Amino acid sequence: DCDVVDMQMISDGVAELLTTTFDQLSAPLLQTVKIVSCLGSQVEESTIVSLDSKNLDFNMQNEMSQAVNEGIFERAGPIYQFSHDIIQQTIYELIPSQNRKLLHKTIGMNLLESAANNPTLYLLAVDQINIFCKCGDPNLEECMQFAKDNATAAKFAISASSFERACSYIDMGMQLLDSQSWETQYSLTLDLFEMSASVSFMHGKNDKLSMCLNEILSHAKTFDDSLMAS
């Protein structure tokens, strides 16, 4: 379709122009907008404040104000939003692929430090970590920790009745478990399979429910642990 081709050419041209423009930004401002681009099309000021507390070499809040002046963001109350999707996409793609994976992990881990009593921030942090897990290569220690983080995120999502979102955290947590997790991480593994069974029951996913209950029955160490599957 000619219109589609024309739009693609325009988008490519705009992206090339934007790339040249962004390369002229100061290093702190460019790093700030790169970090924010990893969070999506918009970000809350409270998230910027949380990231700003992590001993960066620059002040993100100051740089965000400059980014608004440059027309990169629009601000509405506590929300910063990229002034156009192509700006966010272009900035995000300026980050080399390997660096991008690590940046998602760093953002997630930094946000987790501030998120203990803030479910919204906690879920945002785990979302960032999961982007890394899906395209990166977490080591064994990271897998163990990130599985725990996903279990906690699932509980927050369930408390908010966001069951589809809870499923994504439960599934990622289970994927991060090692093959011997019933021996090495018994409580966490039991927790994830019990949550998976509960959410599967509510959604009528009988095959997954049956799989989870069989796993629990096969590995439960105590009678109480096996009650859910009985």
φ/ψ of residue 79, rounded to 5: -105, 130
Condensed to tens digits (0 to 9), the pLDDT of residues 187-202 reads 999 999 999 999 999 8
Condensed to tens digits (0 to 9), the pLDDT of residues 60-110 reads 999 999 999 988 999 999 999 998 888 899 899 889 999 999 999 999 999
CB 60 within 8 A of CB 34: no
pLDDT bin (cut points 50, 70, 90) of residue 19 is low
Q: What is the mean pLDDT of residues 171-181?
A: 95
Q: What is the pTM of this model?
A: 0.87
Helix axis angle for 140-159 and 119-135, nearest 10°, is: 140
Q: How far is CA 154 from CA 16, 173, 190, in A?
A: 40, 9, 14
Q: Which structure tokens are listed for 183?
A: 């021996």
Q: Is the pLDDT assigned to residue 221 strictly greater than 60?
A: yes
Q: Is the pLDDT assigned to residue 230 strictly greater than 80?
A: no
Supply the pLDDT for residue 70. Answer: 87
Length of the chain: 230
Task: Give the residue with greater pLDDT, 106 vs 22.
Answer: 106
Condensed to tens digits (0 to 9), the pLDDT of residues 127-149 reads 999 999 998 889 999 999 999 99
CB 130 within 8 A of CB 147: no
Cβ atoms within 10 Å, residue 207: 8
Supply the pLDDT for residue 10. Answer: 39
